[in-house]
Amino acid sequence: MKYRSVGKSGLKISEVALGSWVTDLKGTAAENVTKETVKLAYDSGVNFFDCADAYSGGAAERFLGEVLKQYPRKELVISSKVYFPTGEGVNDRGLSRKHIFESIDQTLKNMQTDYLDMYFCHRKLGIGITTFSPLAQGLLTGKYRKGQPLPAGSRVTWADESETSSNGSDC
């Protein structure tokens, strides 16, 4: 199995993941087939297992959690998602802080684990984000000019100043 990095986080996941958008399989012939599928995936080097709280009213998370508990947790990368309705209440859906916190608590119980490695917003419309360095740390402001010296005290000179400072008071 080959593994890929998740951005610059240091987390490595298998190129193949096993998603578990399954229905409630308890007591069906498909239950054993699905358990064998998870085992085959794990034995083949798959470490990334994904689910969502809304799949089959939480049954998919409960099923996957039950199957995965036989494997060492430290070898697994487990993710789930939040957004879709998980109940009839007015706040049982969406990306409010309330719904996210209540959903993650239920997901952890469902999956019989203490933590998730990744938690996804199941939908990207209507949410706010905070961008990192939207002006490329000043490169897009015109502060830095090609062929000219770097402006004294600018962000790009901070590392050099702190490394050459004898007492560190410039940091």
The pLDDT value given to residue 171? 36
Around Cβ 102, how many Cβ atoms within 10 Å?
18
Residue 23 pLDDT > 70: no
What's the mean pLDDT in 93-100?
A: 94
List the catalytic residues. 55
The pLDDT value given to residue 10? 94
The pLDDT value given to residue 78? 98
DSSP secondary structure, 26-64, as one string: TTSHHHHHHHHHHHHHHHTT--EEE--TTGGGGHHHHHH
Tokens of 114: 């203490």
Percent of the chain beyond pLDDT 90? 57
Tokens of 142: 């015109």
The pLDDT value given to residue 37? 93
Q: Give me the chain's average pLDDT, please.
A: 84
Taking each helix axis from N to C end, the angle separating 59-68 and 97-111, rounded to the nearest 10 degrees, works out to: 40
Q: Is the pTM of this model over 0.75?
A: no
d(CA 48, CA 2): 12
